C-alpha cells in the first residue's frame, strides 16, 4: 500500500478555489496597477536561465534599464528581490565593517537604510530631519565635518511622507568629501527624472512595483565607475552571498556564470514594463505624472482638505493628504476598497491615522483614476459626516483643460 503523506488524507483540493482577486484600482504607495501586456509577458513559457533566447532577453532588459536610469553604467541589473533587496545590495557591496556611512533619515526608508548600515557593521552617521520635510544639505555638511564617510545615502522620493529630496547639493557635498553618493530611487524612477549621470550619483536602486508598474519582485540597481572601484578594492568579502555583485555580475556580464537561477518570468515582466515606458517616452511619462498630480491636488484642496508637504518639495507620485478632524482613517480606507475597489495607503510612524497616502504611480497615474478617487472620497467622507466643499471634480478638470 502507498504510504500516506502527513496531513494529505484530510486535505481537500476542492477547498482551494481558482485565483480571482477581482478588480482593484491601486492608488496606494505601491504596488501600482500592472498593465495587461506586462501580466501576459509573465505568463510566457519559462525557459532555462542559460538558454540563448533568455540571454538575449537579459541583454535587452539591461539596455532598457540603462535608458530608464539615464545612465551608461555597465553594471546595471535587476537584483532578484524587492526594493529592499536593492537597498541591501548597495550597502553590503559598498560598505565594509568599520566604514563610516552617513544616512539621511526623514521617513521610513531612511530609517531602514540606517538599520542596514548598523547590521553590516558600518559606523553610522545619522542625519535626521523632521518627517514631512526634506533633509537640509547644511546639516549633512555639519554632520560629516572631521569625518570620512565612505558613503552618503539619501532617499530621493520618501514614500512614507511624500517628500521629494533635492539631490544637487547632496551630490556635491558627497563628492567634495570623497564619499560615494547613494540614492534610493524606488518610488521616483519612472515617474520623475533621476539625474544619475548628470549628478554623478554613484549607486542607485529602485523597485519594479511603483512607477515602473511591474509586479513587485525585482530591484533595478546601477553602479557607476567609482562604486565599482570601491567594490573591487574591498578587503573583506561581501557579508551577503546572495547579493554579492562581484558574483552576480559574472552572470549578467559576458561570462554567463551561474550564480542563482534568475527569476525568468519576472524578468519577462520587467522587460515588458520597460518596453511600455519606451513606447510612451520618458519625458512624456514624467509630464503625465506631474499633470495628474496637479489635478489631484487641485481637487483635494477644493474639497477643503490639506496636503501634508509644502508644494516646493511635493512628490508627483505620492500625495500625502491630512485626514480631517473627526474622520476615521480606517473606516474611509475600508469603504474606498469595498465600495469602489480603490486602495490608498494609510500613514506610517508618526503619521499613522493622520494622513492618507494617495499614489499616482505608473499605470495608476491617469485622469480617470484622479476623478474616481475624488468622487469616491467625497462620497465616503460625506457618509462619515464630513461635508467637503463642492467643486473637487471641476477643479481637477480645470487643470486638465488648462494643459490642453
Ligand atoms: C517601497 C520602497 C522601498 C522598499 O521596497 P520593497 O519593494 O517594499 O522592498 C524602499 N524605498 C522606498 C523609497 C520605497 O518606496
222 φ, ψ to 5°?
Answer: -135, 135
Residues 6+ apart with CB under 8 A from 313: 133, 134, 163, 164, 165, 166
Give the closest residue (by CA) to ligand 1 atom 5. 83
What is the C-alpha separation between 82 and 111, in angstroms, rounded?
17
47 φ, ψ to 5°?
Answer: -120, 180
Per the omega criterion (within 30 degrees of 0), is the bond before 31 cis?
yes
Q: pLDDT per residue over 373-403, tens digit each?
A: 999 999 999 999 998 889 999 999 999 999 9
What is the C-alpha separation between 183 and 223, in angstroms, rounded?
11
Question: Which residues of 308-354 form beta strands (DSSP E)?
Answer: 318-322, 342-343, 345-346
What is the C-alpha separation between 236 and 234, in angstroms, rounded?
6
pLDDT at 388: 86
Mean local confidence (pLDDT), 335-354: 97
Residue-level length of the chain: 404
What is the location of CATH 3.40.640.10 in the chain?
36-279
| Residue 364 burial class via C-beta count within 10 angstroms: exposed 0-12, middle 13-18, buried 19 and up | buried
CATH class given for the domain over 281-403: alpha beta
What is the location of CATH 3.90.1150.10 in the chain?
281-403
Cell 512628490 maps to which residue?
315
**At CA 383, angle to CA 381 and CA 385, rounded to 5?**
75
Tell me the pLDDT band of 209, cut-offs 50, 70 and 90. very high
Give the closest residue (by CA) to ligand 1 atom 8. 83
CATH (residue range 36-279): 3.40.640.10
What is the C-alpha separation between 358 and 375, in angstroms, rounded?
14
- Count of alpha carbons within 13 Å of 191, Cβ hemisphere only? 36
List ligand 1's pocket residues with C-beta within 6 A: 30, 82-84, 87, 109, 155, 157, 159, 184, 186-187, 207, 216
| Residue whose CB lies within 8 A of the most ligand 1 atoms, among 84, 155, 161, 362, for a mutation test | 84
Give the closest residue (by CA) to ligand 1 atom 3. 83
Tell me the pLDDT band of 239, cut-offs 50, 70 and 90. very high
Q: How far does the centroid of ligand 1 lie from the alpha carbon of residue 207, in Å?
A: 7
Q: pLDDT per residue over 61-86, tens digit each?
A: 999 999 999 999 999 999 999 999 99
Mean local confidence (pLDDT), 353-359: 98
**At CA 34, angle to CA 309 and CA 264, rounded to 5?**
120
User: Residue 300: pLDDT above 80?
Assistant: yes
Q: pLDDT per residue over 215-233, tens digit each?
A: 999 999 999 999 999 999 9
In whole numbers, what is the pLDDT of the chain averaged over residues?
97
Cell 540571454 maps to which residue?
55
What is the C-alpha separation between 210 and 268, in angstroms, rounded?
17
Contact 335, 305 (CB under 8 A): no
DSSP codes joined into one string, 159-195: TTTTEEPP-HHHHHHHHHTTPEEEEE-TTTTTTS---
pTM for the full model?
Answer: 0.97
pLDDT at 1: 58
What is the C-alpha separation between 191 and 287, in angstroms, rounded?
8
Q: pLDDT per residue over 19-50, tens digit each?
A: 999 999 999 999 999 999 999 999 999 999 99
Q: How many CB atoms lie within 10 A of CB 158?
A: 32
pLDDT at 314: 98
User: Residue 2: pLDDT above 70?
Assistant: no
Amino acid at each position: 500500500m502507498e504510504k500516506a503523506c502527513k496531513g494529505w488524507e484530510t486535505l481537500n483540493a476542492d477547498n482551494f478555489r481558482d485565483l480571482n482577486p477581482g478588480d482593484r484600482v491601486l492608488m496606494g504607495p505601491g504596488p501600482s496597477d500592472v498593465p495587461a501586456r506586462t501580466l501576459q509577458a509573465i505568463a510566457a513559457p519559462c525557459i532555462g536561465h542559460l538558454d540563448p533566447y533568455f540571454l538575449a532577453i537579459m541583454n535587452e532588459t539591461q539596455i532598457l534599464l540603462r535608458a530608464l536610469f539615464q545612465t551608461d553604467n555597465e553594471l546595471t541589473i535587476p537584483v532578484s528581490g524587492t526594493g529592499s533587496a536593492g537597498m541591501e545590495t548597495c550597502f553590503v557591496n559598498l560598505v565594509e565593517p568599520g566604514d563610516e556611512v552617513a544616512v539621511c533619515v526623514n521617513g521610513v526608508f531612511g530609517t531602514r537604510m540606517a538599520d542596514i548600515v548598523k547590521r553590516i557593521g558600518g559606523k553610522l552617521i545619522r542625519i535626521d530631519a523632521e518627517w514631512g520635510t526634506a533633509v537640509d544639505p547644511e546639516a549633512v555638511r555639519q554632520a560629516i565635518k572631521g569625518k570620512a564617510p565612505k558613503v552618503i545615502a539619501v532617499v530621493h522620493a520618501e514614500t512614507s511622507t511624500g517628500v521629494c529630496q533635492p539631490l544637487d547639493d547632496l551630490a556635491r557635498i558627497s563628492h567634495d568629501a570623497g564619499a560615494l553618493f547613494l540614492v534610493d530611487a524606488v518610488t521616483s524612477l519612472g515617474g520623475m527624472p533621476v539625474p544619475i549621470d548628470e549628478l554623478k550619483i554613484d549607486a542607485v536602486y529602485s523597485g519594479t512595483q511603483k512607477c515602473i508598474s511591474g509586479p513587485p519582485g525585482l530591484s533595478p540597481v546601477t553602479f557607476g565607475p567609482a562604486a565599482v572601484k570601491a567594490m573591487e578594492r574591498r578587503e573583506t568579502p561581501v557579508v551577503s552571498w546572495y547579493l554579492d555583485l562581484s558574483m552576480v555580475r559574472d552572470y549578467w556580464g559576458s561570462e554567463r556564470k551561474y550564480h542563482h537561477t534568475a527569476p525568468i518570468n519576472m524578468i519577462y515582466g520587467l522587460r515588458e514594463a520597460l518596453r511600455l515606458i519606451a513606447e510612451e517616452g520618458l519625458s512624456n511619462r514624467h509630464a503625465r505624472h506631474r499633470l495628474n498630480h496637479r489635478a489631484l491636488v487641485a481637487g483635494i484642496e477644493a474639497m477643503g482638505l490639506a496636503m501634508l508637504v509644502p508644494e516646493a518639495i511635493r512628490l508627483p507620485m505620492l500625495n500625502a493628504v491630512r485626514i480631517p478632524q473627526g474622520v476615521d482613517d480606517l473606516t474611509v480606507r475600508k469603504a474606498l476598497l469595498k465600495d469602489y475597489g480603490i486602495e490608498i495607503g494609510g500613514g506610517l510612524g508618526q503619521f499613522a491615522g493622520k494622513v492618507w497616502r494617495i499614489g499616482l504611480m505608473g499605470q495608476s497615474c491617469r485622469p480617470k483614476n484622479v476623478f474616481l478617487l475624488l468622487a469616491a472620497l467625497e462620497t465616503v467622507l460625506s457618509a462619515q459626516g464630513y461635508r467637503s466643499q463642492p467643486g473637487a471634480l471641476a477643479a481637477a478638470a480645470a487643470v486638465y483643460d488648462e494643459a490642453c
